[in-house]
């Protein structure tokens, strides 16, 4: 009975130590095959809450059993009990409530980090789109302004050409029109001038 008790304690300790240092993915898998899943979706959390991107099950279940067997065998040799351990099998992984909470918290933390990564990517994309919209708006406004200036320049040029043609054909009429424009821009009902009737500015007002 003593040997059985010692063996149970050794096995229990070795299993606990090994399982505590493994991720859930490593514990439940029985193959080292690389899982064909998306990188971001394949993230898991190890015992130190570090994100593990590669789910190649380096410590898959068979490897875990081998590690436990080696640890137990070494301790049995140290105790010189004359017992040789040939095999160890895991029938069930049963966490205590405290450990379960830790496992669940690690899983929640891992999912939160994945969600945060998605949110950060979404915010980055949003800012990129907003930046493109602002740039496009500036380009449209700039293009519209340049087009309006071009049209204004062409209109001014046409007006100047018309004035020049008019002056060349009828200089007196041109002077009359320009004087009326000056009156319109400078005189209103409240304007008061003290000018001689001979002043050229009043030339057409006196007629």
State the DSSP string of 3-54.
HHHHHHHHHHHHHHHHHHTS-HHHHH----PPP-S-TGGG-EE-TTS-EE--
Residue 180 lies in a domain: yes
DSSP state of 200: G
Gap between the Cα atoms of 14 and 74, Å rounded = 11
Residue 37 lies in a domain: yes
Q: In the listed set 36, 60, 94, which residue is the last one of a domain according to the structure?
A: 94
Give the residue numbers spanning the domain of 64.
2-94
User: CB burial class (10 A; 0-12, 13-18, 19+) of residue 18?
Assistant: buried
pLDDT for 34 equals: 53
Residues 150 and 77 in one domain: no
Residue 136 lies in a domain: no
Gap between the Cα atoms of 73 and 86, Å rounded = 9
Residues of the chain with pLDDT under 50: 36-59
pLDDT for 125 equals: 93
Phi and psi at residue 52, to the nearest 5°: -110, 110
Torsion of CA 198, 164, 187, 199, to 10 degrees: -10
Gap between the Cα atoms of 16 and 86, Å rounded = 19
Residues 7 and 89 in one domain: yes
Residues 90 and 153 in one domain: no
pLDDT digits (tens, 9 = 90+) for 81-119: 788 888 888 777 776 777 778 778 888 888 999 999 999
Q: Are 33 and 57 in contact (CB under 8 A)?
A: yes
Residues 87 and 159 in one domain: no
pLDDT for 206 equals: 59
Q: In the listed set 94, 111, 128, which residue is the last one of a domain according to the structure?
A: 94
Residue 100 lies in a domain: no
Residue 103 lies in a domain: no
Residue 138 lies in a domain: no
Residue 132 lies in a domain: no
Gap between the Cα atoms of 50 and 109, Å rounded = 10
Q: In the listed set 94, 115, 133, which residue is the last one of a domain according to the structure?
A: 94
Residue 8 lies in a domain: yes
Q: How many domains does the chain have?
A: 2
pLDDT for 48 equals: 41
pLDDT for 122 equals: 93
Structural tokens at position 149: 């200036």
Phi and psi at residue 11, to the nearest 5°: -65, -45
For the whole model, what pTM was predicted? 0.37
């Amino acid at each position: 009975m003593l040997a059985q008790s010692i063996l149970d304690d050794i096995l229990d300790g070795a299993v606990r130590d090994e399982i505590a240092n493994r991720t859930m993915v490593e514990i439940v898998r029985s193959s080292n095959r690389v899982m064909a899943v998306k990188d971001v979706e394949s993230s898991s959390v190890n015992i130190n809450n570090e994100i593990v991107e590669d789910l190649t099950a380096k410590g898959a279940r068979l490897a875990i059993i081998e590690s436990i067997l080696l640890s137990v065998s070494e301790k049995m040799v140290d105790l010189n009990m004359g017992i040789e351990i040939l095999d160890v099998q895991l029938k069930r992984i049963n966490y205590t409530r405290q450990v379960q909470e830790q496992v669940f918290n690690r899983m929640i933390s891992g999912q939160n980090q994945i969600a945060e990564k998605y949110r950060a990517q979404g915010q980055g994309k949003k800012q990129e789109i907003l930046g493109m919209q602002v740039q496009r708006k500036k380009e449209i406004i700039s293009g519209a302004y340049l087009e309006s200036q071009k049209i204004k320049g062409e209109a001014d040029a046409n007006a100047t050409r018309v004035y020049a043609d008019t002056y060349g054909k009828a200089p007196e009429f041109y002077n009359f029109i320009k004087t009326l424009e000056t009156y319109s821009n400078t005189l209103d009902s409240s304007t008061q001038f003290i000018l001689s009737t001979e002043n050229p500015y009043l030339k057409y007002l006196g007629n």
